Amino acid sequence: MSATRITVRGESPYDVVIGTGVLAELPGLLGEGVRTVAVVHPATLPEISRPVCGALEGAGYDVVSLPVPDGEAAKSVEVAAQLWSAFGRYGISRSDAVVGVGGGATTDLAGFVAGTWLRGVKVVLVPTTLLAMVDAAVGGKNGIDTPEGKNLVGTFLPPAGVLCDLATLPSMPRDDYVAGLAEIIKGGFIADPTILMLVEDDPAAATTPEGEHTRALIERKIQVKADVVGADLREAGLREILNYGHTLAHAIERAEHYQIRHGEAVAIGMVYAAELSKLAGRADLVERTRTILTSVGLPTSYRKDAWPELRDHMRLDKKNRGAKQRFVVLDGLAKPGRLEDPPEELLEAAYREVAR
């Protein structure tokens, strides 16, 4: 099947290329004038960076391989500073480029250092996990973590392009692949109910890269995100809907010291958001949320005694305005809304349902 191109519109439009064996598309995404390419990739997974470096070298670029820690450990000020120093040593100029290869943490880091080096150099992202393909690498929002929270330091820099080679997915550990489904399912609840129908049609097939609907699920979720971020790059309004389920999810990640998979935290967070929607007199999609997440093996509850700690973490959520807490809820299927400054008893009551 040929490659699919989804254009993310806005002030700096770019394409997301989706297909199997599509590395030949990479030079075209880099565009004209690039001489040196710094490839940022996880040190523990050289097998995912070698084909990318080879494709770039074959196209005539000078390639600098820059390994970083795997997973969330890469998203720190210390790792970013090491990359900035490497860019200086190798003479990365404004006419050069960065390519980020790996999961969402790596593409977040690559986008951040590219956006801050020389006030912004070109970056192309090559996500190699399901979560990174359908979420982290698309949208131009890049960030690193601090002790106070996740993604609190970051930039808005649309990439020059995103290359999703589906050939990398079969090598993913099953639990990691399933965790990526949470973001796809989120897209179904906030914008595209067909996604939910495809998962519900055959939940077992949804949990494998070889599933009948796999490519359709990936392309539909990317289209959802492209539509949203193309209209609102800097999260001034519409883009907040992509944070459905994330307020509690980020709090859980911090409580777990980022040892829980992002998608697993998002799954629990979506149940919380569904419970909050129901208790606030909005939509009641709790049962469907729990059923579809359970059908693919995602968690739907969290420990009862965690609420005080989670509540403290939630106060640092990026959607908050001043002292007012804001939550993305559902007014109906594919009808996201906002709940501003809900009473404490409502927030706690929703969590009791999650912990039940």
41 annotated to a ligand binding site: no
Catalytic residue (one of 25, 41, 122, 141): 141
Q: Which of 186, 221, 246, 278 is catalytic?
A: 246
Neighbour-count burial of 103, counting CB atoms closer than 10 A to its CB (0-12 exposed, 13-18 middle, 19+ buried): buried
Instruction: Report whether 313 belongs to an annotated binding site.
Output: no
Q: DSSP of 248-269, one letter per residue?
A: HHHHHHHHTTT-S-HHHHHHHH
Which one from 122, 220, 221, 250 is the annotated catalytic residue? 250
Decide if 224 contacts 147 (C-beta within 8 A).
no
Q: Is 202 annotated as a binding residue?
A: no
Is 186 annotated as belonging to a binding site? no
107 labeled binding residue = yes
Known binder of ligand: residue 141?
yes
CB 204 within 8 A of CB 294: no
Cα dihedral 87/163/11/83 (nearest 10): -20
128 belongs to an annotated ligand binding site:
yes
- 319 in a labelled binding site: no
304 is in an annotated binding site: no
CA distance 277 to 329: 5
- Are 107 and 66 within 8 A, CB to CB? no
Among candidate residues 25, 183, 240, 253, the one labeled active-site is 183
Does residue 141 have an active-site annotation? yes
Residue 235 annotated to the active site:
yes
- Active-site residue (options: 11, 32, 78, 119): 119
Question: Token pair for residue 154?
Answer: 């970051």
Annotation says 257 is catalytic: no
344 included as an active-site residue = no
Write down the catalytic residue from 122, 186, 240, 243. Answer: 243
User: According to the annotation, is 262 in a ligand binding site?
Assistant: yes
Return d(Cα 71, Cα 153) in angstroms, integer. Answer: 17
326 is catalytic: no
Nearest to 262 by CA among 143, 98, 84: 143
Report the sign of the C-alpha dihedral through residues 145, 239, 183, 312, in that order: positive
73 annotated ligand binder: yes
Q: Name the catalytic one among 41, 220, 221, 225.
A: 225
- In the set 186, 220, 239, 313, the catalytic residue is 239
176 is in an annotated binding site: no
Binding residues for NAD(+): 70-75, 104-108, 128-129, 141, 150
Binding residues for Zn(2+): 183, 246, 262
Binding residues: 70-75, 104-108, 128-129, 141, 150, 183, 246, 262
Q: Which residues are catalytic?
A: 119, 141, 183, 225, 235, 239, 243, 246, 250, 262
